[in-house]
Amino acid sequence: MDTTLHDPLVGQLLDGRYRVEARIAVGGMATVYRAVDTRLDRVLALKVMHPALATDATFVERFIREAKSVARLSHPNVVGVFDQGADGAYVYLAMEYVAGCTLRDVLRERGALRPRAALDILEPVLAALGAAHRAGFVHRDMKPENVLIGDDGRVKVADFGLVRAVGAATNTTGSVLGTVSYLAPEQIEDGAADTRTDVYACGVVLYEMLTGAKPHSGDTPAQVLYQHLNADVPAPSAAVPGLAVELDELVALATARNPEVRPYDAVALLAHAREARAALGDEQLDLDPPSVRAQPPAEVPAADGAGGPEDVTSVIARPLPEPQEPVHHTSRLEVPPALQPPAPAPDRPTAVRAPRRGLIAALVAVLLVLGVGAGVWYINSGQFTRVPTLLGQTQAEAEKRLTSAGLDVKGVKRAYSSAYERGTVMASDPAPGERIRDNGSVTLTISRGPEIVKVPDLKGKPLAEAKRELTKAGLAPGVVTKAFSEDVEQGAVIGTDPEPGTERNPDSAVALVVSRGAPVDVPDVTGDPVRNATRTLEEAGFTVKVAPERVHSAQDAGAVASQSPADGRQAAKGDTVTLTVSKGPRMVAVPDVTGDGVDDARRELEAAGFQVKVEKAFPFLSDTVSEQSVPGGEKAPEGSTITIKTKGI
């Protein structure tokens, strides 16, 4: 069905510039259209806020914040924003138009993807989010609907409508914005959102790409939320046998329920993703997935292409500290006791009696009162109007619009604002959309632009205290990175970006560098028994974790096959060193090379995974293998040495 037939904007010229051609999608906050910029003659996407929301300063501020945030990023994997404006009741963003489809469309059509394809999509997504994180922003609504795949193969992240400065308060009303299937546990519990919540969502998206299904499901959003809080995301290989353990570990790392265990931002997760890719062979990267299909979507029109209630960006209530008594409202007419008929006496039959004159008179009086009230409402309704949309308009434009509506400007106030440009309306009293008597007066609040604040000196302060001081100064704590320091104790701030004393607009993000303490060399425990290796590392001040999966290696069974971080690297006291245990070398069949030339025999044995040693009795007389230390057809440990000998005279 063509959903654009009844859309009043299709075919119109918005703001004297943008010709609206077709509706692309509809969401809870805005509608997205394909349009043509008649000045520059280019196709673009218009994101238009629903007129009913344009009277809400909170939604308009979020819209403007999205435009400014994305414009600052300027990254090839982020959907660009060209312009922002308003035309009457329509507040809009003009954005880059990406011809193609969303990742949700791909998953719905194909189901699970090959690991190579999943990583090819994940890496540019993380690059885009990494740019946002390092600029001090959190996306807060990562999901397949917001990953666009162009016809030319480019991957772009869209819909920064929920973006906030890192560390800024995300909730004050006991609710949290987001999409149920991709919410991190800390978002559900206390509304907290930082770079690690985006990392969690990306881990869920990766799981979905590898398996074709979401890790948590349920009949209601509440059931999905419960699983996020109480169950780990399962290993993708449990749903798709044969997937490499490196992919299981990548998903587990990104979706750890404890945010402290996750990579601290998308840049760090990108590094782990590239390490996982490098560890996989072509056969593992191109593993064909089974025919796993996502559930068919419900008929829910949404700008994000949502497929069900758990996929829609929504406001989700969080548990309040104490139970609240429900408030019941009623709109029925309460009849006074004097007008209620008397209750029948118990155990006596009631008789039908003629109504008394007093009761009739009282009922007539009530009806007359109701009639008069209805008449007064009818007469007065024509004496009221609604305050027009004024937010974002210049003072002159706002006054002209009020005059056209038959209203006066009562007064003008000015206040600082980082969301509204200097000289534009940031608020009105009464607010836009409220009813006011004809010829009434409206007070305008005009933006003075952002107030300038200075970055405080936070060196040596504990991280929590530093964040409080930034918030008190009117700034937002930004991305937190860690570095070794010989003179700043572990957990305290080494420095900030920008530096102390730098002037910034209010709510600007300030990145913090926190000390990991003095660097400690990681000892080499490869080949040691696990018990000995654990003791060595703990004595050096590290925490030890043993990987659940064992691997074949040249080390004896039960010894440490590998460690991370490896020998020669540095780490901080308290950091975790992960040990992978060997289950012994793999036994491999030895090729029969007797009668072959030495060079051919060496190549064949090395290709089978062995080391080769050559012994020649008479080096200048013979080059043919006469015997080998392990006969052909027998098995030997992979990586062991096979000795070959040449014939004598």
Question: Which of 126, 382, 401 has its CA nearest to residue 268?
Answer: 126
Pick the catalytic residue: 15, 56, 141, 248? 141
Which tokens in the block code for residue 189?
Answer: 């519990």
State mean pLDDT over 284-305.
Answer: 55
CATH topology of domain 13-96: Phosphorylase Kinase; domain 1 (3.30.200)
CA 345 to centroid of chain Cα atoms: 67
Among 200-214, 296-310, 363-377, 630-644, the range of highest mean pLDDT: 200-214
The ranges of the chain annotated as CATH 3.30.10.20 are 384-447, 453-509, 520-581, 587-646
The distance between the two most distant Cα atoms of the chain, rounded to a whole number of Å, is: 142
* Contact between 150 and 311 (Cβ < 8 Å): no
Q: What is the mean pLDDT of the chain?
A: 80
CA–CA separation, 268 and 202 (whole Å): 12
CATH topology of domain 100-317: Transferase(Phosphotransferase); domain 1 (1.10.510)
Q: In the CATH scheme, what architecture does the domain 587-646 have?
A: 2-Layer Sandwich (3.30)
**% residues pLDDT > 90 (the chain):** 41
Question: Which of 159, 96, 99, 150 has its CA nearest to residue 121?
Answer: 150
Residue 127: in which H helix or E strand, if any? helix 115-134
More confident residue, 343 or 647: 647
| Phi, psi of 334, rounded to the nearest 5 degrees | -85, 120
* Contact between 44 and 35 (Cβ < 8 Å): yes
CA–CA separation, 237 and 489 (whole Å): 42
Q: Is residue 575 annotated as a catalytic residue, yes or no?
A: no
What are 549-591's pLDDT values in tens digits? 898 888 889 999 999 888 778 898 889 999 999 998 888 999 9
Which tokens in the block code for residue 61?
Answer: 């501020």
Question: Which of 404, 426, 391, 416 has its CA nearest to residue 85?
Answer: 391
CA–CA separation, 264 and 269 (whole Å): 8
Measured CA to CA in angstroms, residue 325 lies from 320, 328, 330 at distances of 12, 9, 16
177 forms bridges with which residues in the sheet? Answer: 315
The ranges of the chain annotated as CATH 1.10.510.10 are 100-317
**Burial (CB count within 10 angstroms: exposed 0-12, middle 13-18, buried 19+), residue 353:** exposed
- What CATH number labels 520-581? 3.30.10.20
444 forms bridges with which residues in the sheet? Answer: 412, 428
Among 42-46, 192-196, 404-408, the range of highest mean pLDDT: 42-46
What are 350-395's pLDDT values in tens digits? 333 334 444 334 443 433 333 433 333 333 344 678 888 788 888 9
For 362-500, list the strands marked E by DSSP: 384-386, 408-415, 425-429, 435-437, 441-447, 453-454, 476-483, 493-497
- Per-residue model confidence (pLDDT) at position 301: 31
| Phi, psi of 378, rounded to the nearest 5 degrees | -65, -40
* Contact between 492 and 534 (Cβ < 8 Å): no
Q: Is the dihedral of CA 189, 195, 197, 200 positive or negative?
A: negative
Complete DSSP assignment for 328-378: ----SPPPPGGGSPPPPPTTS-----PPPHHHHHHHHHHHHHHHHHHHHHH
- What CATH number labels 453-509? 3.30.10.20
Q: Which CATH number fits domain 384-447: 3.40.50.300, 1.10.3720.10, 3.20.20.140, 3.30.10.20?
A: 3.30.10.20
State mean pLDDT over 394-410.
Answer: 88
Residue 106: in which H helix or E strand, if any? helix 103-110
b/e code 25-62 from CB counts within 10 Å (16+ = b):
bbbebbbbbbbbbeeeeeebbbbbbbeebbbebebbbb
Measured CA to CA in angstroms, residue 352 lies from 356, 363, 573 at distances of 12, 19, 91
- In a 3-state reduction of DSSP, which class is residue 20? strand
* Contact between 504 and 162 (Cβ < 8 Å): no
Instruction: Identify the band that residue 308 occupies on the pLDDT scale cut at 50, 70 and 90.
Output: low
Which pTM does this prediction carry?
A: 0.50
In this predicted structure, the answer to whether residue 259 has a pLDDT above a threshold of 80 is yes
- Per-residue model confidence (pLDDT) at position 525: 94
More confident residue, 96 or 358: 96
State mean pLDDT over 611-637.
Answer: 85
Query: Does 263 sit behind a cis peptide bond, omega within 30 degrees of 0 on the bond before it?
Result: no
Instruction: Identify the band that residue 401 occupies on the pLDDT scale cut at 50, 70 and 90.
Output: confident
